[in-house]
Amino acid sequence: MTNDPSPTLILASSSTSRATLLREAGLDFAIQPARVDEEAIKQAMQGEGAKPRDIADALAELKSQRISSRQPHAMVIGADQILVCENRLFNKPGDMDEARAHLEFLSGKRHDLVSGTTIARAGSVIWRRIDIVKMTMRELSESFISGYLERAGEDVLGSVGCYRLEGLGVQLFRKIEGDYFTILGLPLLPILDFLRLHNMVES
């Protein structure tokens, strides 16, 4: 009889910001993006009247479980973010014109960034968390939006809100209420606490 191998850590996401958070925290992990049809799931759940927090949680769960079922001894992190403004759910912009339209709509308004995070092992979720960050954009002029998009480039297409807070995106905001790491993609401190409890990070 052999013992189970020690668990490894897998990030079920292609997000560079999430990977950077884990890497800079000193974690050793693999990246295995979970291929799921996010838009179809969002539309179906919206049609059923699901709340944004439930959609974010369901997508994070699906991602972590999908990879965990293939790698049963690993701890698999799944995450998703939903941006909500005036009861409208935003997806990542498909092109720069759509990014401009998103910023024009969000300008001068408060939106909620709803983040769902799960950790699965052996195909079952063993940890989950929902975080909501309230973010208020300042009034953005057309010339600022044009300059911002030109300087930030197509990197904005990888963010649901067209911003990376660790870069130029911070200039978009007047007020932020919530966890900085969650905005970047993961609730890093609670994840580290969980991994310490499971002896995957030194105490």
Classify residue 2: in a domain, yes or no: no
Q: Is 155 a catalytic residue?
A: no
Identify the pLDDT of residue 91. Answer: 87
Beta strands 30-31 and 9-11: pairing type? parallel
Residue 202 lies in a domain: no
203 occurs within a structural domain: no
pLDDT of res. 1: 38
* Structure token digits, residue 61: 């769960």
Helix then strand then coil, % of the chain, to nearest 5: 40, 25, 35
Give a yes or no: residue 192 inside a domain: yes
Backbone angles phi, psi at 94, to 5 degrees: -80, -25
Out of 57, 80, 112, 155, the active site residue is: 80
**What pLDDT, on the 0 to 100 scale, is given for residue 35?**
86
Residue 3 domain-assigned (yes or no) = no
Distance CA 109, CA 117 (A): 26
Specify the number of domains making up the chain: 1
86 domain-assigned: yes
Model pLDDT, residue 7: 74
Cβ atoms 136, 176 nearer than 8 A: yes
In a domain, 1, yes or no: no
Q: Which residues of the chain have pLDDT under 50?
A: 1-2
Q: List, in order, residues 6 or more apart from 49 with CB less than 8 Å away.
A: none
What CATH number is associated with residue 130?
A: 3.90.950.10
The answer to the question of residue 144 being in a domain is yes
How far does the chain reach from its first CA to its final CA, in angstroms? 30
Say if CB 160 and CB 82 are below 8 A apart: yes
d(CA 22, CA 180): 14
Domain of residue 20, residue span: 9-197
DSSP state of 113: E
- Rounded distance, CA 106 to CA 156, Å? 14
